[in-house]
Amino acid sequence: MVAEKKKILLIAGVVVLIVIAAIVAVLLFNINSYKNRIETAASQATGLDVRINGRMGLSFFPFSVSANDIRVANNGGVILILKKLKIGVEIIPLFAKQLKVTSCQLVKPTISIVKDNEGKYNFKSTEKKSAEGGPTKVFSLKELRLSQGTLVYLDEKTGEKTELKEISLAIKDLSIDSAAGDNIITKVSFTGNLGCKQVWKKDVKIDNVKSSLKAENGVIYLTHLTMDIFGGKGEGDATLDMSGVDTVYKVNLKVLTLDFAKLQESFGIKKVIGGKSDLSASLTMNQKRGRVLINSINGTFSLRGDNLVIYTMDLDKVLLSYKSSQEFHLVDLGAFFIVGPLGPIINTVALKTYRFGDVYYQTQGGQGAITKFISHWKIKDGVVEATDCALATRNNRIALKGKLNLVSERYDNVTVALLDDKGCANFKQSISGSFGSPHIGAVSAAESLAGQFTHLYRKAKSYLRGGKCEVFYNGAVQQP
Give whole-number Cα distances, 35 to 42, 96, 477, in Å: 11, 21, 70
On the question of pLDDT at 254 being above 50, the answer is: yes
Task: Check residue 246 and give its pLDDT.
Answer: 87
Query: Three-class SS of residue 86?
Result: strand
Mean of all residue pLDDT scores within the chain: 78
Taking Cα atoms as reference points, which of 46, 94, 96, 91 lies closest to residue 71? 46
DSSP 319: H
Q: Residue 445 above 70 pLDDT? A: no
Q: Residue 263 and residue 252: Cα distance in Å, rounded? A: 18
The strand pairing partners of 177, in sequence order, are 138
Between strands 219-229 and 204-216, the pairing is: antiparallel
Let me know the angle formed at the C-alpha of 89 by 83 and 91, rounded to the nearest 5 degrees. Answer: 135
Q: What is the pLDDT of residue 220?
A: 93
Per-residue model confidence as pLDDT tens digits over 343-392 = 555 544 444 444 444 554 454 567 888 999 999 999 999 999 999 999 99
Amino acid at 469: C
Q: Which one, of 195, 271, 278, 270, lies nearest residue 229 by Cα?
A: 278
Residue 268: pLDDT band (50, 70, 90) is low
Report CA 139 to chain centroid distance, whole Å.
30
pLDDT attached to residue 326: 43
Number of C-beta neighbours around residue 319 at 10 A: 22
The one-letter code for the residue type at 213 is L
* pLDDT at residue number 260: 83
CB-side neighbour CA atoms (13 Å) of 130: 2
Which of 119-133, 307-321, 358-372, 444-458 has the highest average model confidence (pLDDT)?
307-321
Q: What pLDDT shows up at residue 255?
A: 93
Residue 7: predicted pLDDT: 47
Residue 378: what pLDDT? 94
Other beta carbons within 10 Å of 49 = 18
The pLDDT of residue 19 is 55
Lowest mean pLDDT among 15-24, 172-181, 280-289: 15-24
Of 229, 54, 59, 213, the C-alpha closest to 146 is 213
| pLDDT of 298 higher than 60 | yes
More confident residue, 137 or 154: 154
**Looking at the predicted structure, is the pLDDT value of residue 133 above 50?**
no
Q: How far is CA 302 from the centre of its chain?
A: 17
Distance between CA 160 and CA 297 in Å, rounded?
20
Q: Is the pLDDT of residue 277 over 50?
A: yes
pTM (2 d.p.): 0.78
Percent over 90 (pLDDT), the chain? 30
- Reported confidence tier of residue 95, pLDDT bands at 50, 70, 90: low
Name the more confident of 344 and 415. 415
Q: What is the pLDDT of residues 209-219, one digit of tens each?
A: 999 999 998 89
Select the more confidently predicted residue: 464 or 86.
86
Q: Which of 312, 251, 240, 308 lies closest to 284, judged by CA?
A: 251
Question: What confidence score (pLDDT) does residue 409 get?
Answer: 85
d(CA 149, CA 165): 6
Confidence of residue 115 (pLDDT cuts 50, 70, 90): confident
More confident residue, 309 or 28: 309
Instruction: Give the pLDDT confidence score for residue 299 in this predicted structure.
Output: 94
Average pLDDT, integer, range 8-23: 52
Query: pLDDT confidence of 156, banded at 50, 70, 90?
Result: confident
Determine how β-strand 49-52 pairs with β-strand 64-74.
antiparallel
Higher pLDDT, 98 or 240: 240
Residue 21 CB-half CA count within 13 A: 8
Supply the pLDDT for residue 283: 93
Q: What is the pLDDT of residue 282?
A: 95
Output 428 or 466, whichever has higher pLDDT: 428
Q: Which pLDDT belongs to residue 197?
A: 96
Distance CA 353, CA 432 (A): 12
pLDDT higher at 423 or 336: 423
Q: Domain residues of the chain, as ranges? A: 267-480
Reported confidence tier of residue 121, pLDDT bands at 50, 70, 90: confident
